[in-house]
Amino acid sequence: MKSRGVLLAGNWKMNHLQKDTIQFLTALAPVLKNSPKTNSQMRIYIPALSLETAVKKVTADSIPLQVGCQNAHFEKSGAFTGEISIPMLQEIGVHQVLVGHSERRQLFGETNETVLKRTVSALDQGAEVLVCVGETLDERNLGKMESVLQSQLEFLTQNETTRKAFGNKLHIAYEPVWAIGTGVTASPAQAQEAHAFIRNFLDRKIGPDTANATRILYGGSVTPANFKELLGCSDIDGGLVGGASLKIESWTQLWALI
């Protein structure tokens, strides 16, 4: 078992209605209760309109599952049409937030600056944050993987709030953009190379204790067919799973591999 433990995190994106959420969690409950994992956790980032439904179901049935939101604004309130604040999430029992997913960066104008603002705000308000980093196919082909990751991580390691939170309330998901939803997965060697770079970067910028305590998840077409080999890499501490988290069969297969 990895010293940092393993985190299996699902990202449902814009999928599953409330009835689907209840059906999924109903099927998941006996699996988690009958196959507890020492030093391992399961989390699902659920669409905003189903968050309260999920929290009530998890609480009522005592399901050992963390419920997270896929994004959160950096202000507590204000004229930000369509946004959700941390206090709104906390009011319904949600304390986990995903920040900086590649789709937020590519499709909705998220930048390193706004990722930092969202992360700092969430941490200041007591939430736990998983920040996504990763390069595009063009950037990888140009040999810019490390420089892209460094630029994304620099913002996080230069801020006092985030520096103190790494390894406790702040963790990282490496998602090669070219492997998200494409069916193409970074090889274990490619994934390990990126994860080792991230951990070494944290070591240099903050220190070895923080680097060793920080979970770094791999996200990019994770399936039951490749998850075990990815988990075998020394610096991969779990998965941020998209498509395979939507079906109870593949999701529970992933859990069984931990």
* Residues labelled as active-site residues: 101, 175
Token pair 């789709």: residue: 103
Distances (CA, A) of 118 to 52, 166, 173, 201: 21, 15, 16, 22
Q: Is 168 helix (H, G, I), strand (E, B) or coil?
A: coil
As a whole number of Å, the end-to-end CA separation of the chain is 9
**Nearest to residue 199, comparing CAs of 234, 246, 248?**
234
Contact by Cβ (8 Å): 65, 44: yes
Q: Is 65 helix (H, G, I), strand (E, B) or coil?
A: coil
Q: What angle do CA 248, 240, 117 make, to 5 degrees?
A: 130
Q: CA 140, CA 151: separation in Å to the nearest integer?
A: 14
Q: CA 128, CA 168: separation in Å to the nearest integer?
A: 8
CA 224 to chain centre: 18
Token pair 């996200």: residue: 219
